[in-house]
Amino acid sequence: MSTKNLATSWARFRSTPGRIARYVLNARALSTESPCASRTISQSPTLGLQNGRDLFNYTRGRFITDEQFELSQRCVDFNVDALARCAAETVGAESCISIEKYPDGMYNKSMLLTMDNGSQVVAKIPNPNAGIPHLTTASEVATMEFIREKLGTPVPKVLAWSSRAQSNPIGAEYIIMEKASGVELEQIWPSLDIKERFAVVKAVAGYQKSWNSISFKKFGGLYYKKDLDSDTGNDALYVDADGHDIVDTKYAIGPSPGREWIDNGRVNIKLDRGPWKTLTEFHSAIGKREITCINQLPHLPKSPVTLYGPGIYIPTRERKLEALHCYMTLLDAIVPSNSAISSAHLWHEDLHVANIFVNPSNPAEVVSIIDWQSTEISPLYFLARQPHLIDHAGTPVTGIERPQYPADFHSMDPEAKKAAETRYFQRSLCALYNFWVYKANPKLHAAFEFQRTPEFSLLLLARNIIIDGEATYLAQVLELEKLWDTLPGAKNKSFPLNFSTQHRARIAAELEGAEEGMNLMSSIRDSIGELFPEQGIVRHDQYDETLDALAQMKTQIIEQFAKNEQEKEEWERLWPFGQ
């Protein structure tokens, strides 16, 4: 299982963008009863509102595993009348006359509120699974203002907000912000030619350049000073583009609000969430986080990208802890010393077509970038990524060389030629982005170069060992041993780990089994196509069909790999799909 393939699978799993549609209700007609106590699951492909409860419940799709728990994590009760009054007062209107619910996100409820004077605002209320109460909302608001005011990025202005659910009349944390102007890039992207698309990508890349123009003095999350309980002092907050230390009495760096510190049960574990003054402290905290969670969680989360079972590979706490022991031991040697790529930055890590708004008359003019929740201050080499909007199937384009048409392009049949041409333009767009970064943003280019090293692979994979990757990690450690003398951080140091011949053989066998598990998951995805539950969710009208297709896949795989009744039961236990 290569690190690249594992990372690609994780990216696909974690970045399924929302689709914009609206569910309309009259704000005055809503029931005041608590909707979460009487959740209903819509069986209709048309997700109409049901007595107002759909405003509070998750209605976008069905979860194929542990559905009642997943729904409870996305159900939030709040006082709609109070929200409507607050929004109206914020913009100087007499009243709010309608609320339109956007399709549910994984972590928030978002609504469009229209006033009697025609003005509109967007309200955002975090779900229970959004993050640590208070900190998640407080950090998002501070980050949005800093990014807009200090770094010149078009971000909706926050008009009103509260991160204390118990001390406001709405009864929930909320953010009321300007409605993003322009249109979602998603609406016009398919109609743009490659020159227009590159103009958009170049504009987005320009904002990426502004984000790494300043570097923060600590790693963690950005907040207003008043929202942190601890004394943050008056030390410099960041270093500006001219290399000057900047003291800012309004902002401070506090705990990280990043999703990796929250998801998969981590939110309930006592951890060092920062802030961290040094790169080594930051990476050490990641390792300690994973070790603590592996030891304390009652059940380890199942992988969404790899299938496990008897006859291939079965993850254990022991193997995960072994991988993390290697990580902690190697840390000093694999953490880069190049400050240009390891400096701390704020960065939007999910630049897909639903998060970017543009001027429809001039798509190269980006007028708003939304969704800054859980943004953390991290090393540049963790943040560096081409915008999701130019992602495509196939081998990633990592260099600046211009792609070429296939040698037999002119002899292809029309259908094959069209597909080849589409791939060529997709790859060309990536190459143009890479070339622009190479010329205009050398720090980001250097970070991309570091991402191609074995050291980066070991830093990256360790971030999710609780879920997946320990077999790959241990195999990568053995590969690193061969390259040890070439690593800048290993100068005058001997390789600090010892592996017996038997140990090496075990690692190789487990890697082979884990690779087979990843191939099996890919086969399931390919076999059932659009029925595959990305992020564990399917459309309402596909729920039963998906369960049936997955049941058939499970039967086939168990028949192939289970040698006895005990192994069959183990496959049943480890199967990641179904109730």
pLDDT at 384: 96
Among the candidates 434, 452, 470, a domain finishes at: 452
Instruction: Report which of 10, 107, 26, 128 is spatially closest to residue 60, judged by C-alpha positions.
Output: 107
d(CA 130, CA 480): 37
pLDDT at 7: 45
The answer to whether residue 502 is domain-embedded is no
**Above 60 in pLDDT, residue 32?**
no
Secondary structure element (H or E) that encloses residue 115, with its range:
strand 108-115
195 and 96 assigned to the same domain: no
The answer to whether residue 370 is domain-embedded is yes
**Above 60 in pLDDT, residue 9?**
no
- DSSP reduced 3-state for 276: strand
97 and 243 assigned to the same domain: no
31 and 95 assigned to the same domain: yes
Confidence of residue 52 (pLDDT cuts 50, 70, 90): low
Contact by Cβ (8 Å): 64, 548:
no
Confidence of residue 5 (pLDDT cuts 50, 70, 90): low
Model pLDDT for residues 369-414, shown as the tens digit of each residue: 999 999 999 999 999 999 999 998 888 888 888 888 888 988 999 8
Average pLDDT over residues 59-70: 95
pLDDT at 392: 87
**Above 90 in pLDDT, residue 365?**
yes
Confidence of residue 579 (pLDDT cuts 50, 70, 90): low
Q: Tell me the residue range of the domain where 368 lies.
A: 183-308+336-452
pLDDT at 230: 80
95 and 197 assigned to the same domain: no
91 and 169 assigned to the same domain: yes
383 and 281 assigned to the same domain: yes
Model pLDDT for residues 448-464, shown as the tens digit of each residue: 999 999 999 999 999 99
d(CA 511, CA 503): 12
pLDDT at 40: 34
Tell me the residue type at 26.
N
d(CA 234, CA 251): 10
164 and 52 assigned to the same domain: yes
The answer to whether residue 576 is domain-embedded is no
217 and 346 assigned to the same domain: yes
pLDDT at 10: 40
pLDDT at 36: 54
405 and 380 assigned to the same domain: yes
d(CA 63, CA 41): 10
Least confident residue range of 83-92, 227-236, 267-276, 465-474: 227-236
Mean pLDDT for the chain overall = 90
168 and 252 assigned to the same domain: no
Confidence of residue 21 (pLDDT cuts 50, 70, 90): very low
Q: How many domains is the chain partitioned into structurally?
A: 2
Among the candidates 452, 467, 498, a domain finishes at: 452
Model pLDDT for residues 79-95, shown as the tens digit of each residue: 999 999 999 999 999 99
393 and 446 assigned to the same domain: yes
The answer to whether residue 399 is domain-embedded is yes
The answer to whether residue 303 is domain-embedded is yes
285 and 359 assigned to the same domain: yes
For the record, the structure tokens of 280 come out as: 């080594």
pLDDT at 23: 34
pLDDT at 274: 96
The answer to whether residue 511 is domain-embedded is no
